[in-house]
């Protein structure tokens, strides 16, 4: 992965994109602001869209909380239930 500094004379958008296609790039804007530039496929774009949805993220948080508080079965219980099925 190549590291590129914003403000450097030789760093252009075209160069950053070329580096991202080849091996990915870290763009340094300043000491605290960094970005990763990489090629994204359809799955990557879908993940970003879902992460950007407050409703979906709230739903996931609710599912995590329900899983923590809800009833649990041991592995032995699950095996017994599966073995009992016809």
Whole-number pLDDT of residue 30 = 81
**With a threshold of 0.95, does the pTM exceed it?**
no
The mean pLDDT values, 10 residues at a time, for the chain of 86 residues are: 84 87 89 88 95 96 93 91 84
Burial 41-72 (b: 16+ CB within 10 A, else e): eeeeeeeeeeeeeeeeeeeeeeeeeeeeeeee
Asked if 36 and 24 touch (Cβ cutoff 8 Å), the reply is yes
Indicate the domain borders of the chain.
2-37, 42-84
Whole-number pLDDT of residue 79 = 93
Whole-number pLDDT of residue 32 = 82
Whole-number pLDDT of residue 2 = 86
């Amino acid at each position: 992965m190549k590291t590129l500094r914003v403000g450097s004379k030789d760093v252009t958008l075209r160069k950053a994109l070329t580096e991202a296609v080849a091996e990915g790039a870290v763009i340094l804007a300043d000491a605290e602001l960094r970005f990763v530039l990489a090629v994204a496929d359809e799955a990557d774009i879908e993940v970003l869209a879902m992460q950007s949805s407050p409703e979906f993220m709230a739903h996931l948080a609710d599912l995590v909380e329900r899983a923590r508080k809800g009833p649990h079965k041991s592995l032995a219980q699950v095996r017994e239930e599966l073995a009992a099925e016809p």
